[in-house]
Amino acid sequence: MPSDKTPQPTDSNLIEVFHDHRNRLIALTKKLHGHPIAQHYSETLQKIMANLEQNRFRLVVLGQFKRGKSTFLNALLSEPILPMDVIPVTAVITEIIFGPQKKAQILFENGKSVEIEVEQLTAFVSEEQNPNNAKKVDKVIVYHSSHFLKEGLILVDTPGVGSIHQHNTRLTREYIPNVDAALFLFSADPPLTELEQNFLKLILPFIPQIFFVLNKKDYLQPASLEKVLQFNRQIIEKLTGQAPTIWPISALNALKAKQQNDQQLLAESGLDQLQTSLQNFLMNHRGRLVILSNCDRLLRLVRQMENFILMEQKAQQLSVENLQQNIEQFKNYSRQMEHRQQNLSYLLDGLKKRLVEMFDTMAENFLKEAQQKILEKMQSQVINNRQLTKADITRKGEQLLNNEIVNQFEPFRLQAEKQIKESYLTEIMQINKEVNEIINDIYKYSAQLLGLTKISSLPQESWRFESQFYYKTWEVVTTLDYLEKGIWMLLPDKFSRLVYHRKVKQWIKEKLDRQCGRLRSDFLYRLQDSNREYLYEFRQTLEKIFKTISELMEKYLNQKKLGEKELEMAMQEQKKHLAFLNTIQKEIENLKAFWNQAN
C-alpha cells in the first residue's frame, strides 16, 4: 500500500520524493485500471502508466574541446567508461542511459545498429580512430547501472565546441533543442575564451537551465582560483544579465576518489555538491511537470467516472418512457455537435497559417541580413585579398563560403524553432479552452436530460507539443574547382575578381534560399502532423463520451424492464464506486499540492 504521508516541500532530496510520488501514481493508475468502473478508460490509463514508467530527462554536457567533458561524465558514473585522451576525443553524440548491464549500441546514419562492449567505444567515438566520422555513426548509446541514471536521467557527451573538426560544432548545435538542462564546462586555465563566449550567446535562449562548471580547479592555488572564478563570473554576467553560480570541481580527482572510495578527496573535488544540485533541479523542473501533468490526467478521469455514476443514479429514477425520449434527444444532440468539431479544425488551420506566415517574415529578414554578412566576409577575406592567387581564391573561398552558410543559418534555425514552438503552445492552450468547453457542455446537457442539478466540471488538460523539429542543415558544399579550368583562369585579375564576386553573390542567395525552403517544409509538416494528432485525439474523446453516456441510458432502460431487484443491486455498487473514487482523488490531490508548493 502506498504511504499516506506526503513529504513537505522543505524535503531536500527531491529525487527520492519524486521516486516515491511517481511510484504512488503508478500504483493508483494500476488500481484504477483493474477496477470495473474504469473499463472504458483502459487505453488512457495504460498511456499514463507508460508515461510515468518511461519518463526521461536529458542533461547535455557542452564546452570547448579538451575541457574534460568525458572525464566529468566518467566521474558521475564512478568509472572510466568514456575514452579520455590528450587530443580531441569525442567525434559523435553519446547518450548514457540506465541499464542493468554495461554495453553500448552504435547507431549508424543508414539506420543500422550494432551492439558492442564498452571497451570498444574508442573505435567509434574518437577522432583518432573515427576521423571526421568516417564510419558514419549517427549516435552512440551507452547503458550503465549507475544510481544517478536510475530515475530516467540521460547524460549526453557532445563533440567539443570549436574543435579543429568543424563537424563537431555542428553536431553539438543540432542537439541543443532536445535537452532539459545543460552543463557548460570550462577550465581553470585558460579562462573563458572568445569562442566559448560566442557559443554561450548562441545557446542561452534555447536551454531552460545552464550549470556553469569550472573544471581542473586542482591546477590552481585557492587565491588564484578565486581570481579566475571572479573573472569568469564577470564575463558570464555580461552575457546572461545576472550573476551566475560557478561550480569549481576537479573531475579527475572525483573519478579517482570514487574508484578508491576516498570520501575526503571526493568532498575536495566539489563533484558531490554539484551532483546533488543537478538532481534537485531536474526533479523540480522536469519531475514536477511529470507528476503534475499525470495528476491532472488522472483527476480528469476520476471526475469523469464520478459524473457517470451521478448520471446513473438519476437515470434509475426515470421512467422507461423518459429514458427512451432522452436517448433520442441525446442522439440528436451528438449530431449537432459536429459543427463544433468542424470549427476546431478551422481554428487549427488558422493557427498553422499564422505560424507559417511568422516563419516567412523571419526568413525574409534573415536572408537580407545573412546574405550581406557573408558577402562582406567573402569580400574582406577572399575577393579583395590581393595576396591570394586564383587557385587560392577557389580553395579558400569554397571553405569560407560553406562555413559561413552553416554559421549564419544554424542560429536562425534554432531561433525560428524556439519562436514557432512557443507560439504554437501559447495558441494551442487557447484552443484547449474551446475543447474543454465542448466536453463540459456535453456533460451539462446530459445532466439536464437526466434532471441532475450538479455535475463536476473537468479540469483543462494541458496539450504538450511533443513533436520536435529534427531538421539538420543540409549539405551546403559548393565546389568551385571547375572555375580553374574555365574562362576564370584566363581573365585579367581585375575582371576575374568581378566575375567571382557576381558568382559568389548568386551562390549565397541560392544556398540560403534552399536552406530556408527546406526548413519551411519541415516546419509545415510538423505543424500539420501536430494538428492532425490533436484533432484525432479530440474526436476520439468525443466519440468515447457519447458512446459511454448512450450506453449508460440504454443500460438503465433495460434494467427498468427487468425489475427493481437489479436496480437495487446497481445502487449498492454505485455507492462503493463513489467511495473508491473519492479515496483515489484525495491521494492524487495531495501529491499535486506538494509539487505546486515546491515550485
Q: Tell me the per-residue pLDDT of 47-85, one tens digit each, with 9 for 90 and over.
A: 888 878 877 788 888 888 778 888 888 898 888 888 776
Three-state DSSP state, 329: helix
Grid coordinates given for 406: 552553416
- Residue 331: other Cβ atoms inside 10 A: 11
Cis peptide before 190 (omega within 30 of 0): yes
Tell the burial category of 204 from Cβ atoms under 10 Å away from its Cβ (0-12, 13-18, 19+): middle
Residues 383, 501 contacting (CB under 8 angstroms): yes
Q: Look-up: residue for cell 511510484? A: 23
Residue 82: φ, ψ to 5°: -85, 140
pTM score? 0.66
- Residue 412: other Cβ atoms inside 10 A: 20
CATH superfamily of 57-269: P-loop containing nucleotide triphosphate hydrolases (3.40.50.300)
Those residues with Cβ within 8 angstroms of residue 74's Cβ, 6 or more apart along the chain or in another chain: 80, 81, 82, 84, 251, 255
Distances (CA, A) of 365 to 358, 370, 402, 412, 491: 11, 9, 21, 10, 36
Those residues with Cβ within 8 angstroms of residue 180's Cβ, 6 or more apart along the chain or in another chain: 57, 58, 59, 208, 209, 282, 285, 286
| Domain regions of the chain by residue span | 57-269, 316-459+477-562
Residue 68 to residue 433: CA distance in whole angstroms: 49
Distances (CA, A) of 129 to 87, 96, 125, 162, 337: 12, 21, 8, 20, 63
Three-state DSSP state, 518: helix
Nearest CA to 417 among 381, 454, 481, 465? 465
Tens-binned pLDDT, residue by residue, of the chain (599 aa): 334 444 444 444 677 788 889 899 999 999 998 888 887 788 888 888 887 887 778 888 888 877 888 888 889 888 888 877 644 555 678 889 988 889 989 888 888 889 989 888 888 887 778 777 788 888 888 999 888 787 778 888 887 765 544 545 555 556 676 677 889 998 877 778 888 888 888 788 778 788 999 988 988 888 888 888 998 899 999 988 888 999 999 999 999 999 999 999 989 998 988 988 888 887 777 788 788 888 888 888 888 788 778 777 777 777 777 777 877 887 787 777 777 778 888 888 999 999 999 999 999 999 999 999 999 988 888 888 888 887 788 888 888 888 888 888 878 888 888 888 888 888 887 888 778 778 778 777 777 777 766 655 555 554 443 434 333 333 333 333 334 434 555 556 666 778 778 888 888 888 899 889 988 888 888 888 888 888 887 887 777 777 777 777 777 677 666 566 666 777 788 888 889 999 999 999 999 888 888 65
CA angle 313, 573, 557 (to 5 degrees): 45
Q: What is the separation, in whole angstroms, between the first and last Cα of the chain?
A: 27
Residue 554 to residue 314: CA distance in whole angstroms: 13
| DSSP label of 319 | -
Residue 261 to residue 122: CA distance in whole angstroms: 27
Distance from CA of residue 229 to its chain's centroid? 31
Residue 521 to residue 251: CA distance in whole angstroms: 44
Residue 570 to residue 318: CA distance in whole angstroms: 15
Grid coordinates given for 230: 571572479
Residue 126 to residue 87: CA distance in whole angstroms: 9
Distances (CA, A) of 356 to 318, 331, 520: 53, 39, 8
pLDDT digits (tens, 9 = 90+) for 307-362: 778 777 777 777 777 777 877 887 787 777 777 778 888 888 999 999 999 999 99
Please give the single-letter amino acid code of residue 171: L
Q: Outline where 42-136 has alpha helix (H).
A: 42-53, 69-77, 122-125
Residues 350, 583 contacting (CB under 8 angstroms): no
Three-state DSSP state, 480: coil
